[in-house]
Amino acid sequence: MSQDPASQPVSAEASAAPSTSKAMRMLMIGTPIALLLLGGVWFVNRNHVSTDDAQVDGHLVPVSSRVYGSVERVLVEDNQAVKAGDPLVAIDPRDIQARLDQAKAALAQAKAQVEGAKAELERGKVAFQQARGSDQETAKANLDARKASLDKARMDVQRMKPLAEREEISAQQFDGTRTQADVADGEWRAAQQRLASLQREADIRKVAVSAAEARLTSALAQVDAARANQDGLELQLSYTKILAPVEGVVTRRFVEQGQTIQPGQGLLTLIPLHRTWVTANFKETQIARMRPGQEVEIKVDMTGSTLKGRVDSIAGSTGSRMSLLPPENAVGNFVKVVQRIPVKIRIDDAEAGKVVLRPGMNVEATVILK
């Protein structure tokens, strides 16, 4: 029995109708779900900004020599962990030790000169006090006595002279009285000279005391200079033992045993792995609502783990402005490019021990904008 050809299209349309209605039902059901999911994603992500342009940063502590010398021993190797105060490099101390011994001898000699200057000053003071004190008082008393004798002798001459003119006394007696007056006058003048001599000597002794004080001051200054030289050499001697300034890992060791090094020459670098942070470069359009203290999720590429942290600070300029060759837009080659601003992120102390982060490692940072 043959089938009517006219009925075939009707059957095809009849079979396609259920499929179309099923697709419409799926579309009507799926569209709200998709919109709901997209809305949920938007609602969650509206308070989150992320960037994969983020790296771990840390302090690079260069260790250099502070004295000239030959390396006696190198006590560490590359990638070795050290603690603060651990010895790193030992420099031959013999040259500095010899100069230190000379400085100690110079200090002892300067101290001896100080003692000599003090003794000389004391002698000068005693001589000055004696010249200005008892000797001058004795000379003044002697001068007064001689002046009294002279006055008496002159009065005797004046009383004897009328008697001698009337020949009531002999010429010999009168001559003896005048001789006594002349002797008294000479003794008085000698006493005056003695007092003046003692006064000049006192002045000389005073100048000598001042000179002794100056020599003592100079000797004390030499002691200070010698002591400072000794202290400096002792400090340099301590620099021959180079110690780790911080706890960290030895990196880029340049020094070798027997090498002659100069002050300021780099020997190695220490990286304190326990003091790392994250520098995330966010687009300028992402930081409008970003503030210090906001929570951050840090995904570590090495392990895939996620750490907790907080925004520490936001840089004062874009990264391109602080580069070695900042852009110069005034020359006419301006092309607007979305700039990135470095954001410093501190890892929570409780999270820092979960994984060892090394400077330069890549991470992904997501800031929760609350």
pLDDT, tens only, 63-92: 999 999 999 999 999 999 999 999 999 999
Q: State the pLDDT at residue 213.
A: 85
> Which one is predicted more confidently, 190 or 108?
108
93-97, 122-126, 299-303: which has the minimum mean pLDDT? 122-126
State the Cα torsion 262-267-272-277 to the nearest 10°. Answer: 80
Predicted local distance difference test score (pLDDT) of residue 5: 47
pLDDT at 131 (0 to 100): 66
Which among 313, 286, 302 is positioned nearest to 368, based on CA atoms? 286
Whether 2 shows a pLDDT value over 90: the answer reads no
Does residue 195 have a pLDDT over 80?
no
What are 153's two structure tokens? 């002798």
Beta strands in 240-339 (DSSP E): 241-243, 248-251, 260-261, 266-271, 277-283, 295-300, 306-314
Range ranked top by mean pLDDT from 199-213, 300-314, 329-343:
300-314
Task: State the average pLDDT over residues 240-258.
Answer: 94
Measure the CA dihedral 116/122/124/128, to 10°: 180
Contact between 270 and 253 under an 8 Å Cβ cutoff? The reply is no
In this prediction, what percent of the chain has a pLDDT beyond 90? 47
Q: What confidence score (pLDDT) does residue 3 get?
A: 47
Can you give the three-state secondary structure of 183-197, one letter per residue? HHHHHHHHHHHHHHH
User: Residue 244 is encoded by which pair of tokens?
Assistant: 């780790």
Q: Which domains, and CATH codes, for the chain?
A: 61-92+241-271 (2.40.50.100), 94-239 (1.10.287.620)
Query: Tens digit of pLDDT for each residue in 118-161?
Result: 888 888 777 777 666 666 677 777 777 777 877 777 787 777 77
User: Could you give the C-alpha distances from 143 to 128, 156, 188, in angstroms and in order?
Assistant: 21, 20, 6
- Residue 315 pLDDT greater than 90, yes or no: yes
How many Å apart are CA 249 and CA 47, to the nearest integer?
38
Q: Report whether 347 contacts 292 (CB < 8 A).
A: no
Does 12 score more than 70 pLDDT?
no
Residue 280: name the closest of 52, 107, 62 by CA: 52
Decide: pTM greater than 0.75: no
Going by their DSSP bridges, the two strands 260-261 and 295-300 should be labelled as: unpaired
b/e map of 287-325 (b: 16 or more CB within 10 Å)? beebeeebebebbbeeeeeebebebbeebeebeeeeeee
20-45, pLDDT tens digit by residue? 676 776 767 767 676 666 655 555 55
* Average pLDDT in the chain: 83
Q: Tokens representing 175?
A: 């001559």
How far, in Å, CA of 120 to CA of 44, rounded?
92
| 340 within 8 A of 323, measured Cβ to Cβ | no
Query: Tell me, what's the pLDDT at 178?
Result: 76
Strand duo 277-283 + 295-300: pairing: unpaired
Confidence of residue 349 (pLDDT cuts 50, 70, 90): confident
φ and ψ at 313, to 5 degrees?
-165, 165
